[in-house]
Structure 1
Amino acid sequence: MKIVMLTGSPRKNGTSSLLADKFAEGAGEKGHHVVRFDAAFRKVGGCMACGYCKSHGGACVQKDDMDEILPALLDAHLAVFVTPLYYWDMTAQLKAVVDRFFAVDRALTDPPKGAVLLATCNSRHTWAFDALTEHYKAILRHLRWDDRGTLLVSGVGAREDIEDTEYPQKAKALGLSL
């Protein structure tokens, strides 16, 4: 299976990065090919709603790193969204990538893909994830993608808060389950 992992954390060794690493490890052990795109360390401009893409076969007027990941995403069977929670939703870096799906959203629906959400937050309140999970469900509904799993981890503000928990192994198990 071809998997595209889209991460949003600006911390290279943060909590969500650990989940991404473990998920990719599990998926790799099952023989899946994982392409990882760390949005926070790439050049991705936000959608400008100019409509250029709709009159130019999905090509964006912006020439940035989305040109690299969109072909892989179109070819993928599964998309994995990985983010720490920033003010009740995915990071701005990941949101910029998701907004740019607009250029090819019809192509992303055929054939339908699966999706996974991995997210972390410092808050101990599980309701903190409500907006993110509803946003994720709306993206999947629009694209007609299937949810293949969600792992939400609260109360982890730093990597050491998550390292010795069950969550890295749960992320790996999710990757292995595909």
Structure 2
Amino acid sequence: MKIIVLKGSPNINGSSNLLADNFIKGAEEAGHVVGEIDAAHADIAPCSGCVSCGYEGPCIISDDMDIFREKILEADMLVFVTPLYYYGMSAQLKILIDRFCSANSSIQSSHFKSALITVAYNSSNWTFDALEAHYDTLVKYLNLDDQGRILGYGCGTPSMTKYSDYPKKAYEFGKSL
């Protein structure tokens, strides 16, 4: 299976990327081909909402999304990775997702598998409610097949995350696919 990991953390050495790296290691050991898109460090402009693409065509904005669109459409699985910033996904990942607009029909008809990997400093039982609701909406709208989630409660710093169960869970999740 060809997996694309969509990273949304501006902190390259942060907790969500630590989990992503462990997921990737497990998935590659299981024989999958894994690529990454680092939305936080790419040249991606926000969608202008002009709909010149007609929801399936070239976007009027020329940036890294031109390359990412091809990588995404060649995949079998999309893994959304984000730190939880103010109870939602990072703006960097949201910009990438909003730019799905120009490949909307292709994404909907591809029936990708998907997963969510996220971390948050907060460890309350409601911490991920809004993010999961957004992800569930994407799954439904884009006809994705949700394979699972890693919700890293209490992972505010890489050192907190490193010594938690979450890196192992992310590795095992990737390995189980």
Give the TM-score band, short-chain normalised.
over 0.9
Distance 2:10 2:164 in 1: 22
Distance 2:78 2:135 in 1: 12
Distance 2:118 2:34 in 1: 18
2:127 alignment counterpart: 128
Shift of 1:110: 2.1
2:43 pairs with 1:32: no
2:14 alignment counterpart: 14
Distance 2:96 2:31 in 1: 26
Distance 2:169 2:155 in 1: 15
Shift of 1:102: 1.1
Letter matched to residue 2 of structure 2: K
SS where residue 54 of structure 2 aligns? helix
2:83 alignment counterpart: 84
SS where residue 108 of structure 1 aligns? helix
Q: Give per-residue Cα distances to partners, 1:20-67, cap 9 Å, x unaligned.
A: 000000010011111101111001111101111118x52111111111
- Moved >6 Å (runs of 4+): none
1:166 alignment counterpart: 165
Shift of 1:75: 1.2
SS where residue 16 of structure 1 aligns? helix
Map 1:45-56; keep pairs closer than 5 Å: 45-54=45-54
Shift of 1:163: 0.5
Distance 1:122 1:46 in 2: 27
SS where residue 53 of structure 2 aligns? helix
SS where residue 37 of structure 2 aligns? strand
Question: How does the TM-score come out when normalised to structure 2?
Answer: 0.97
Distance 2:76 2:136 in 1: 18
Shift of 1:69: 1.0
Answer with 88-97 or 45-54: which moved more: 45-54
Distance 1:90 1:68 in 2: 23
SS where residue 67 of structure 1 aligns? helix
- Which blocks of at least 5 consecutive residues in structure 1 are unaligned? none
